[in-house]
Amino acid sequence: MKMFPPIIRDEIDLPQGFPIIMSQTEGVSPPFQRLHWHSTLEINYIYSGSGYYLINGSRYEFQQGDIVLINSNDLHRAVETENLVMGILMFDPAYLALEQRYDTDLLIPFREMGMRFDNVLDREHPELTRLSTIFAEMRDEYVRAEPHYEAIVRAKLVSFLAYVNRYFARNSESKSHHARGMESIRNVLHVMEEQVEYAWTLKQLSEKAHLSPSRFSTLFTQVVGTSPMDYLIQLRLSRAVEMIETTDHKIIEIASDCGFRNLSNFNRLFKQHIGKLPSELRD
């Protein structure tokens, strides 16, 4: 049985009657630069630019025209490398329960990810153009929201998944992408998120994983894509962004609450990672 990651789940607020959300993002916002997971299924279309995903410890490069599938409960984070514009579709798998009575394999591309299907669909496959067209049609219907658009979006989503099944399954199975030691790293990530303000050292974090500091650092970087201490800074900055936008606390108080002991260092790192000073974000 697949274990749920101990990291706090992102709650995606899907409409009850029509549990589908489509959106478009430019770049990657700080909260989604951290590792996260959710129970919804996710489809990404890369309109322009490039970047990579870290999904369950494996790295997947993507570029303009690529389509990315992310299963529920997958531990993932997106990183932009250049001018990224991404279309995002999230939906509740239970919404397609009726269709699965007639096509039990409809959601297999998500359920057998890393075995018969890849997270990033084969960009050389001629049928990728068909999927891109369907995604664009879904997005157009969703945005215009004309009468009966829900039925049209649902029908096109079913078609999209059926074509993925038909054309993008691998002929041979390969081993799962899950990295060794994932559970140990997940436990440490949970502790870091819960106590982001604590003055963690590499030694303390490695002890939480029951690994030597060098082995822990190597494994953490493999799974997360950056070193433990760099990721801790990213978590603290994400928390700081949230507090600046949702509270009226003083900047110096927010810096302290997020684990920064020096205001000038906080301002420097904030500017480096977020692109603005904390005071500019609040203006």
pLDDT in tens, 56-83: 878 899 999 999 999 987 888 888 899 9
Look at the domain 20-168 and name its fold. Jelly Rolls (2.60.120)
Mean pLDDT of 137-158: 96
C-alpha to C-alpha distance for 105 and 116, rounded to whole angstroms: 12
Residue 84, classed as helix, strand or coil, is: strand
Higher pLDDT, 20 or 101: 20
Identify any residues that bridge with 46 across adjacent strands, giving them in sequence order. 86
Mean pLDDT of 225-231: 83
Question: Which CA distances in Å does 139 have to 17, 40, 90, 106?
Answer: 18, 18, 12, 21
C-alpha to C-alpha distance for 27 and 49, rounded to whole angstroms: 9
Quote the Cα angle for 142-144-148, to 5°. 70
Closest by alpha carbon to 65, among 130, 110, 115, 113? 130
In the block, tokens 């590792």 appear at: 35
Residues of the chain with CATH 2.60.120.280: 20-168
Mean pLDDT of 107-113: 88
Residues of the chain with CATH 1.10.10.60: 182-282
pTM over 0.85: no
Higher pLDDT, 177 or 115: 115
Q: Is the pLDDT of residue 223 over 80?
A: no
C-alpha to C-alpha distance for 238 and 49, rounded to whole angstroms: 23
Question: Which CA distances in Å does 40 have to 9, 86, 157, 268?
Answer: 11, 18, 14, 36
C-alpha to C-alpha distance for 265 and 283, rounded to whole angstroms: 21
Q: Quick check: 81 and 53 in contact, CB under 8 A?
A: no
| Region of residue 72 (phi > 0: left; psi between -120 and 50: alpha; otherwise: beta) | beta
Written out in words, the top-level CATH class of the domain with range 182-282 is mainly alpha
Q: 175 pLDDT band (50/70/90 cuts)?
A: very low
Q: Quick check: 185 and 223 in contact, CB under 8 A?
A: yes
Give the pLDDT score at 30: 58
What are the phi and psi torsion angles at 55 (to 5°)? -125, 115
